[in-house]
Structure 1
Amino acid sequence: MSHNPAPFQLVRVQMTYREDEKDSFQIMVPVDQDGRICVDEFYGHFIDEGEMYPVLIAEDGEGDTVLRYLVDWGWGEKSCTHIEILSRPLAINQEVWREDVSSNGRDRYCYEIRSITPLL
């Protein structure tokens, strides 16, 4: 018996940091017909103070209202970074939270989705 996976659309989601729109976060991710993220792992990159940082993002839990993902910076980065996305279809102006935890403490940053562009 063959199994056909549910159809999906690959999209680029562009987000800007609320406090400084020069800093941004972009992901390329499959979404289902309703616009919800439909994979456990995907790629993206942060642009922070003009520097680009590629990242691997993997599911790290699901609550009642948010999907939580662990960000792998690579190159031996010691901070622990999570992003939280509301567990509903992606939408323009939706908030996405980034949380960095290191030996110096915990910082939270709010990004807003500015565009969702189909890639295929």
Structure 2
Amino acid sequence: MGWLYVFLAAFVEIFWVLGLKYSTNFLMWSGTVITIIFSFYFIIKACALLPSGTVYAVFTGFGAAAIAIIDFTLLGAEFTYGKASFIGLIIIGVVGIQLTTGSSEQEEKQALTGREGS
């Protein structure tokens, strides 16, 4: 369940980052603030279940890669193979962190918070 919270937070992050760039009126700014609140809510929930360093690394990496891909594909940002290579490295790093976060780290985190199996 912790990883679901991380990916929900990163998904919502895409919208608030784009909102920071494109908001022009009170309603759009309000939506941006609401998405920031949801994003941080999901991060807080994820940190209760997974190591916070891992959560933050995956959250920022996934969000940064997704936003860069959206910039290239939908918003007309300049695409270069160098940028694509570095985005690929971010994605590889995020997957690597997720794969190497063992269940023992999760069990230790749950023991510290007094929670049983999630």
TM-score range, shorter chain: under 0.3
TM-score after normalising by structure 1: 0.24
Higher relative contact order, structure no. (Cα contacts within 8 Å, ≥ 6 residues apart): 2
Q: Structure 1 or 2: larger strand share? A: 1
TM-score after normalising by structure 2: 0.24
Q: Structure 1 or 2: larger helix share? A: 2
Higher Rg of the two aligned structures: 2
